[in-house]
Structure 1
Amino acid sequence: MWGIAIIISVFSGGVQSILNDEGLIETIILSVYTKWILLSDIIWMCFFIVFILSRKQYKTESNLHYLTYKPLESISICVVIPAWNEAKSIEKVITDFQKQKFVKHVLLVDNNSSDNTVEIAQKVGAIVIKKNENKGYSHSVLLGLKEALKTDSNVVLFTEADSTYNGYDIEKMLSYLPNADMVLGSRYTQVLSEKGNQNSLMHIWGNILLAKLIQIKYFSLKHLGAVNLTDVGCAMRLMRRECLEKIIPLLSSKDSEYPYAGDSIQLHITMLSIEKNFRLVEIPITFNKRIGYSKFESSKFTKGIKWGAIFMWFILKS
């Protein structure tokens, strides 16, 4: 808005100065547009200063927001994988996670695939939850997390079926769990990313923008935010069972199997965790080229803008 106003000011001021044979710089400085721009800047800066000062003590309780050490006596992991027509990658993904230490259950939620995703998953020993119709990705996420709580696992890992994530990252994520309730992945460390992956320039900067918007929403003057985020689009996350148990009832109504947030469910989980004073830690993880194609088609410019707008609106209104 300010950029457009400045362009208008320069253009109109420049034309006026030529017509009146006046100095261009002097005309711009004295123009009405410039005065309104300066006034607007002063107003929003005043509001910003009031906002940051009001957050001086925000989320700074020692027993809720600072260091704790709560190691798990034993670890049993349930891996949740939503899938739809992922026959090309699903065997590799399931076997990769099955062989990781502490993984006891691999649970696949099939969104009514038309290929042989289900048959392959069953053949390699995954627990398969089959749906008789395609009810969408967010429905699969919520159903998978609910089913994970029916197992005896005390840690739940959420991931994707397209082979973009690696099972061996569980080890590094687990190392943070004694100090956290949920460990999020970040895909943006270059040396940990396979060249040619689907994270375009728009993906990277869009996710960073949304991540920092969440930090501003939960801004803390002392630590610049209750959590430090860089990648809200990363699906791989590890969480304590008790953390998930408290969040699940808040994701949908008792009368509905669909989440309130729709396809913004991952954002909703992150934001609810912050609001409920769970400790979140984001760490860099590895990221591979996708096997198959994106069901969201977010690599297309128009679709990417659409999803970005949906996610931004959800953050602002929630």
Structure 2
Amino acid sequence: MEFGPVTAAAPDAVPAAQPSRLVDREPRVPADRLVAELVPPPHFDGVRFETYVPDPAQPSQSAAVAALRSFGATLAAPPPRRGLFRRSAPPEGRPGVYLDGGFGVGKTHLLASLWHASPGPKAFGTFVEVTNLVGALGFGATVEALGGHKLLCIDEFELDDPGDTVLVSTLLGRLVDSGVRLAATSNTLPGALGEGRFAAQDFLREIQGLSARFDVVRVDGEDYRHRGLPAAPEPGDDEDVARRAATTPGATLDRFDELLAHLGRVHPSRYGAMLDGVAAVHLLGVQPVSDQSAALRLVALVDRMYDRDVRVVTSGVPLDRLFPDELLRGGYRKKYLRAVSRIVALSRVAG
């Protein structure tokens, strides 16, 4: 048997690292993982009421801390049971508290602080994660999985279509009837959910039913991520971004257009799993996203990156120009602005 000549590598030669690509990842997430992961994301592991720093110029922030502390105190003792399976509602106040305010005022910090301060069993998830759980388990199994909890925290509460409106209204009604207390955050008052997205007046009963379950706590202020900070960092060039990806442990490197296409093939409930083990996302050729469906999928990915403190390095247009004016004038304006706020913050950390 003959072999071809073997060429020895130079002793000091080090092969270039090849960063992985997000577009090669299509994770399958079992339903039990979806339930187990209903906890605050790593970014909020260490937050507590004591670590929230209210802006002295915004008294509503201190008031929100006090309101949530008071709400949490009612969870220490379970309400008396009524009948065989139902627990009576709390004697005073509504069964839910709803933090309303702009992006970057610390609503998620406060919601996670409430979760950390409360006794279990308890669950914490974004609105998308909760609705995805229903899709994975089915409605009845979701009620069974969450119905014994003392507290369900729902971050980024939004109603994007009529189906979600009816689903969430019914789910929360069943959970409240079983004694679950609710806490939620949103950029939209509960009575105005769905405005600018679909014919909300056709589902007014469901929307009003949702609103009736919450006491609203206003949190005013400016985006803390941008206080005293410059605009989005200048993007690098393709060669520089690729070089940084090759020398960064846990990095991924993708072309922006290819990643957008890939997000359309992966359910948003799996975006978090797609980021498993990823420390930094590097994107080549970032451009404004004018298609609304693609833009909303990108928003969901940015939220999962922010949850996990994944750094972002890009070439192309600056990240504060991700969404064109025609999208920012629409019903999802607050969603897009929140995503810009978060991805710019992640790019600053990357340096």
After TM superposition, is the score higher than 0.5?
Answer: no
Q: Which has the larger radius of gyration?
A: 1
- TM, length-normalised to structure 2: 0.23
- TM, length-normalised to structure 1: 0.25
